[in-house]
Amino acid sequence: MADAALIDLFDMPLLAGFAYRDGDVTAEEERGLIAHIDESALSLFRFQQWTGKRLTHSYGWSYDFANGRFAPTEPMPGWLEPFRSRAAHFAGLDPADLVQALLIRYDPGAGIGWHRDRPVFEHVIGISLGEPAKMRFRRRMGGKFERTSALLAPRSIYHLSGEARHGWEHSILPLTRPRWSITFRSLSSAMSSAR
């Protein structure tokens, strides 16, 4: 079932804009993708003053430290193309709209703190590899946080759009075994029309 991870007792999806599907990538494809990610020029994620423990590499668009802006960068390699198409198909988008791919390796002890993805991007479609992870979501409701979460099984795919993308923050706690992810993003309409 599409939103299995987020179905409550009444079979209602708990988070609008979160779509999930298990088993989209085979075990053999997973091994290949992990090998490709490990061979990529991964570097410690850095944004302004902040350094995370996860290792990342961007294709298509990336943050330029020289001018503090997002700008086109190295094109996506061929090995990513079939997965970009699959991600686009899952989200009902055109593969060409997914202009950015972010590779991440989370070694044991690395996670990702509470955030919303940068507003230059719109759709976010992720492929989860390696250790299963819980993606946590929260949004401020009055004085406290409303929370929910989704289990990301290895070889699954998820799509954040609408409320899940814009109204909620998400995070992933550090794990004890490695996890890899590939996230594809489209540009926001403001960014696309400014080009």
Q: Are 16 and 163 in contact (CB under 8 A)?
A: yes
Structure tokens at 146: 């409303």
Question: What are the backbone angles phi and psi of residue 119, rounded to the nearest 5°?
Answer: -65, -10
Site string for ligand AKG, 87-116 (x = CB under 6 A): ---------------x-x-------x----
- Smallest separation, CB 140 to ligand AKG (Å): 19
117 sits near Fe ion (criterion: CB under 5 A): yes
The one among 183, 184, 186, 187 contacting ligand AKG by CB under 6 A: 183
C-beta closer to Fe ion: residue 84 or 185: 185
Q: Residue 39 burial (CB < 10 Å; 0-12/13-18/19+)?
A: exposed
3-state helix, strand, coil in the chain (%, to 5): 25, 45, 30
Contacts to Fe ion from residues 36-95, by CB under 5 A: none
Cα distance between residue 113 and residue 111, in whole Å: 7
C-beta closer to ligand AKG: residue 117 or 131: 117
183: partner contacted, choices ligand AKG, Fe ion, none (Cβ within 5-8 A by kind): ligand AKG
- Residues binding ligand AKG (CB under 6 A): 102, 104, 112, 117, 126, 128, 170, 172, 181, 183
